[in-house]
Structure 1
């Protein structure tokens, strides 16, 4: 009798208990939604909303999954068994390989899996990613895989860097790779030699994204390649040899990323952008190497990174026409560039004067991302009194890494808190031990945030990585982002 009374009281409390309140101010059910194969209480089949989607949409979802996860969807439910074979295949060696410092890739196992997948899946294949080192160690196998009819209509071809620790002689790109010319849209070529004899064959009318990483190539081949890709939008060139000067003449290119890499001989020394009317993003991947950048005509250039302040830290510089840019070296910037809205800089010291000069050169700047050591003097209350009255700060987003809450950093950020009338977001990365509510409240007080010039502004303190440095852009797809330096807020 008592047990029955307890059950009735427990049931009554459960019925009277209010729903949980979410962080967004709404309500949500306490029980998690039922997934594929789950069943409701009493044995009735659960509502499987995912499986109710049209099969073409489900196939698209499966095609975006890594190779292993895509194949495993066959066990979710009976109606899912055929989806993996009907979906476009994403065959990625990076996802199939065992990677890690103590668990090296099993070459034999990986090389055996690739033909098994190609023979099991009828196609089409959306993406094929194969280790670049196989071009030397398994030349015949790579040639056979690329010749497989399953790969007909391939859109994305990548030679990935699974064995980054191996140093091997570079061989030419397999001839079978050129059979995908009519369909390829994304290509990443790594660790191979591209002789001039293949320049005429490199004609890809639909190619939009191209990455050349650790390749040997001549200026003749590169110029011919750009001419042979009329739809090319993103170009990434990193750690290549054989080229002293990269010359860009393209009506379609929107994003360019160039890195010198570790090569000290026969490396890229100069980037000349002669005619790029569609260019919007220019990213220099290296801070420590000499790269002379010249821009003649680029009227749509909106994003630049990563600039350095030069105090012996980097000798890179940009010289161009007055309508675009004169001087990438921060102590030589003199021209006014009204098109640039996103800028990433790496400073030896956090220096407000340097940043103010940047804002004068880029008066329409909306997003500014800064990496620097904390040291510096940023007293400004008297020094920049006249500037504050006459200069319109248009910054909407400011990102600062390595924040420690010391006086120079507080003074720097306070300047923008009290004077940036259009500020919307300030992203401040702190150490994990300081990522707490108490620490955040203290910094709000130090930065005088209650007196902020923009009432809609907010500060996001985080111990997570929200910003991407120029050296972290390691795939050509990163260049296609509207803001390549912003990752996410967490």
Structure 2
């Protein structure tokens, strides 16, 4: 019986292709045995240049790249602008399609509008599922037009990102995006009617980021599927820009991320979002933030609201005056993670009695993590931190992001004594000091807002 088993195993090994099929040293090439459809999907997930190089593996692989769903990242083709144009044109003329992903970012328009339009009309991109399109960023009073051909993929798109361009308003009312789950518009000129027409044509949209756009003052959200929303106004005071966000009905919304406003008059009103779990960054530049009976005006609580228990993650972009922060803890008593991005200029309010707020349900039962960004070594900061150290009974982790050059072993040892970390209310709490913050005011990247695999976009 043992001899027969060995013989059968040896027979099977001899039947497998070796050598020229991609294996080395006689090792069987099992990948090449996969069906063409599977290999095509693998190739389409590779960077553009790597996908094209699979043609050199063997005769078996040679026709696969041209038939696989095309993943074309123009920026990946070369470091030189004119070579990227040559290579992209060649690929689109030779590939038979269909398209999976087309990425053209930071492109210098000059007199190449017809060239881009021709690319987008190529048969190789038919059935495109993902598009990333933007011109080179520049301050210009006349937004550069996005080719209407970029919207011919509306019936098949699942992910779309447009930036630094002017949206073709005249044809959008005729379009539907039945498969679109993720939409990002960044520094785009688009009318209020157009943006709402797009949203009404996205029946399964899950993630939406509208960042720094012009052309509309009010954004109204009514979506049965939306789970993540990122919004921000624009720098340009001369143009029509976002001033009001009204979430009328969003039963699945879990995440609302107002990226740092550029102006001081943004209003946010949440009428119905019963599953909201992640909120921030909130700042004084948001003139009004209203959630049911809860109203904050420039971070100051107005009235006596009912607490909201769904919010677990909160990010504040402010010099964290303890009086203000504690009011947020009372409004969100089930909060588990707190991020505070402190402005470099200015100081925290010095709170001498750090125990006068000790009777907070959030501190006793729920708050597990505090991340303080731009921590500075002074009495006011230390007083603020000691409030959490001495009162957060279930705290597991507290992180301090400090300026580079300050975070050496001697400085950290001094902070441990100054902040009374040995007297912590939660004995299992860990404290980390890291020199890792970026010099920006509480920004969270667009990719993190769109990443629905995690509920915490601020932890990236």
* TM-score bracket for the superposition, by shorter chain length: 0.7 to 0.9
Does the CA contact (< 8 Å) of 1:467 and 1:485 recur in 2? no
1:187 aligns with 2:187: no
- The structural deviation recorded for 1:447 is 2.9
**Take 1:327 and 1:53, find their aligned partners in 2: how far apart are those partners?**
62
Instruction: Extract unaligned runs of 5+ from structure 1.
Output: 1-36, 38-43, 99-105
Instruction: Extract unaligned runs of 5+ from structure 2.
Output: 1-18
1:285 corresponds, among 254, 259, 274, to 259
Q: Once the two structures are superposed, what CA deviation does each residue of 1:309-340 show, in whole Å capped at 9, x if it has no partner?
A: x3xxx253223422xx4226311355322111
Query: What residue is the counterpart of 1:357 in the other structure?
Result: 327
1:94 corresponds, among 56, 59, 75, to 75
**Take 2:28 and 2:425, find their aligned partners in 1: how far apart are those partners?**
50
Does the CA contact (< 8 Å) of 1:283 and 1:470 recur in 2? no
- The structural deviation recorded for 1:46 is 10
- The structural deviation recorded for 1:368 is 0.9
**Take 1:78 and 1:446, find their aligned partners in 2: how far apart are those partners?**
69
Query: What residue is the counterpart of 1:297 in the other structure?
Result: 272
Query: What residue is the counterpart of 1:341 in the other structure?
Result: 312
Q: Once the two structures are superposed, what CA deviation does each residue of 1:381-416 show, in whole Å capped at 9, x if it has no partner?
A: 465165369963521111111223333223322222
- The structural deviation recorded for 1:450 is 3.0
Q: Once the two structures are superposed, what CA deviation does each residue of 1:199-218 show, in whole Å capped at 9, x if it has no partner?
A: 23321101011122232322
Query: What residue is the counterpart of 1:327 in the other structure?
Result: 296
**Take 1:444 and 1:286, find their aligned partners in 2: how far apart are those partners?**
32
State how many pairs are aligned.
430
Query: What residue is the counterpart of 1:376 in the other structure?
Result: 348
1:426 aligns with 2:395: no
Does the CA contact (< 8 Å) of 1:90 and 1:126 recur in 2? yes
Distance of aligned partners of 1:377 and 1:240 in 2 relative to their CA distance in 1, 3 Å threshold: closer
SS in 1 for 2:279: strand
1:445 corresponds, among 404, 417, 439, to 417
Distance of aligned partners of 1:93 and 1:472 in 2 relative to their CA distance in 1, 3 Å threshold: farther
**Take 2:442 and 2:310, find their aligned partners in 1: how far apart are those partners?**
20
Q: Which moved further from structure 2: 401-410 or 292-301?
A: 401-410
1:260 aligns with 2:241: no
Q: Which moved further from structure 2: 218-227 or 62-71?
A: 62-71
Q: Once the two structures are superposed, what CA deviation does each residue of 1:35-77 show, in whole Å capped at 9, x if it has no partner?
A: xx9xxxxxx9498999799688776565444434544566789
Q: Once the two structures are superposed, what CA deviation does each residue of 1:123-161 show, in whole Å capped at 9, x if it has no partner?
A: 443210124756773222222212222112211111134
- The structural deviation recorded for 1:250 is 1.2
Does the CA contact (< 8 Å) of 1:380 and 1:415 recur in 2? no
SS in 2 for 1:445: helix
SS in 1 for 2:161: strand
SS in 2 for 1:194: coil
- RMSD after superposition: 3.5
Structure 1 length as normaliser, TM-score?
A: 0.76
